[in-house]
Amino acid sequence: MLQQIEIQLTEVEKLALEFQNFQYNCLQINFNQFMTSNYHYNEEHYTRLIDTLIEKYTLLQKSIFEILNNHGYASIPVQDFYSFVNSNILIINPSRR
């Protein structure tokens, strides 16, 4: 089994990751509220929200990949990750291939 990887982030990497994570998590909360409301939105609303959610998730994944690449872990498949606000550490749990 692959070990957890701890990456010491630079200040720029930390801020970029926090920003991307914040955008995605806030939109995810909005999406959950949107989906659980009893109001019936039209297809355009659904499409715009889902497209934006996908866009923010893609940017978050790109940010994580860039960090992995910058620290020599570009070939590591990521199962999940943890980072904490005001922490310069990114913890990666590699997945099995």
The reported pLDDT for the residue numbered 1 is 53
**pLDDT value of residue 72:** 92
- Would you state the pLDDT for residue 70? 93
pLDDT value at residue 8: 93
Q: How far apart are CA 56 and CA 49, in angstroms?
A: 11
**pLDDT value, residue 66:** 92
pTM value?
0.79
Whole-number pLDDT of residue 55:
94
Residues with pLDDT less than 50, the chain: none
pLDDT at res. 59: 92
What is the token pair recorded at 37?
A: 């409301």
